[in-house]
Amino acid sequence: MRAWADINLDNLIYNLNIIKEFAGSKKIMCVIKADGYGMGAVECARILSENGVENFGVACYEEGYELYKAGIKGEILLLGATPFENIADAVKCGFQITISSFEQIDFLRRNNLHPEVHIKVDTGMGRLGFSHEEALKAIKIIRDENIADIVGVYSHLSVADMPEKDQFTLDQIEKFKVFEKMESIKYKHILNSSGLLRFADATESNLVRVGIILHGVVPFESELQKKFKPVFSFKTKIIFLNKITEKTYVSYGNTETAEPGDLIATMAVGYADGFVREFSNGGIVEIDGVGCRVIGKICMDMTMIKIPEELKDKVQVGTEVTIIGKDILKKAECIGTIPYEIMIGLGRRVARFYIKNGKVLKFKSLQESEAKEFQKG
């Protein structure tokens, strides 16, 4: 086993229950796009469904079909602009479709599909959706011509995780309020993870879309982080130890040197696994809670670290190394990215161990082996 992610399903359930406290009477949609933020969409959806979740959000038809094929029950919303060639199949699967253009409405009219739809309103994200006036017109057309069943209307907050831009978020919420008053529409939603944590009382929406906080990651600096438990950790092992006897370069490009007396460990993880090259020449991993510095450039399949003095007599080939853990927000900021990108960047050959009640419930890797038949080590 060269690199793996431990995924704690008990902590996922714990975080869901904390989210329910924040949501109050609002219904919860769990967003599990991008393979459940890299954690496994089917596995996450199944445990969430078992704990009362009835609404799921995915980016596209293919992601929805994966859940459908796995027998996941509940309402599944396709959050993106579904290509015309996928709409008929999406309707057959019973998926709810986001409508964000008059071209989509015309397609539904011409093909007499009559799906359940959510109207997307652009209140300031500038990515997808109708303007305020266009949305009202779209709703009228769909209803007057009985083109689809409008079950939802929603928008998306673009800076809810940035306190210095709170006024913009409040402006977005204000623009959406006219749609919140539409009692004939089942779901009205604008709050994402950060929005729920910071603006739940500012809106009368009745559904919240949560993604990354399910995994215990609050995407901004806050004491709220203490309320959640980390769901995943990314780990590897030492596969080679090199006791340096003379000054030598380490890794591609000759960017760093090891000195006599240094102990350099090679880990079985690289940028193909999701340990991106931005962590080269200074990124920190942990062994037994002690920070170890990446030396040289991260390779596709391997990475070298300098072992600190206090660990030199403790490490050996096979020693476990934590690449990413509960410090994911800090590490993301260090390389100028966000936790989302790190999580979804875990490679296919990174095995996933799904842990429940302290035991491995399932193991998923390129071999698709069952957990009970496999031992780490």
pLDDT (tens digit per residue) in 32-71: 999 999 999 999 999 999 999 999 999 999 999 999 999 9
33 catalytically annotated: yes
Residue 200 has pLDDT above 70, yes or no: yes
Give pLDDT, residue 20.
Answer: 97
Provide the β-strand partners of residue 18. Answer: none
C-alpha 31/C-alpha 186 separation (Å) is 18
Q: Sketch the domain layout of the chain as residue ranges.
A: 8-220, 232-375
pLDDT of residue 361: 87
pLDDT in tens, 210-237: 999 999 999 999 999 999 999 999 999 9
Query: In this predicted structure, what is the pLDDT of residue 208?
Result: 98
- The contacts of residue 332 (CB under 8 Å, 6+ apart) are 338, 339, 341, 342
**Residue 176: which H helix or E strand, with range?**
helix 166-180
Residue 374 confidence (pLDDT): 42
Active-site position among 92, 165, 249, 252: 252
Would the CATH topology of 8-220 be identical to that of 232-375? no
- Determine contact, residues 292/285, Cβ cutoff 8 Å: yes
Domain 232-375 superfamily per CATH: Lyase, Ornithine Decarboxylase; Chain A, domain 1 (2.40.37.10)
The whole-number pLDDT of residue 203 equals 96
Whether 340 sits among the annotated catalytic residues: the reply is no
CATH number of the domain located at residue range(s) 8-220 in this protein: 3.20.20.10
- State the Cα angle at 7 between 328 and 67, rounded to 5°: 110
26, 33, 188, 306: the active-site residue: 33
Burial class (CB in 10 A: 0-12, 13-18, 19+), 330: exposed
Please give the structure tokens belonging to residue 316.
Answer: 């050996």
| pLDDT confidence band for 194 (50 / 70 / 90) | very high
304 known member of a binding site: no
pLDDT tens-digit series, residues 271-314: 999 999 999 999 999 999 999 999 999 999 999 999 999 999 99
Confidence at residue 368, expressed as pLDDT on a 0 to 100 scale: 62
300 is annotated as contributing to ligand binding: yes
Look up the pTM and report it: 0.93
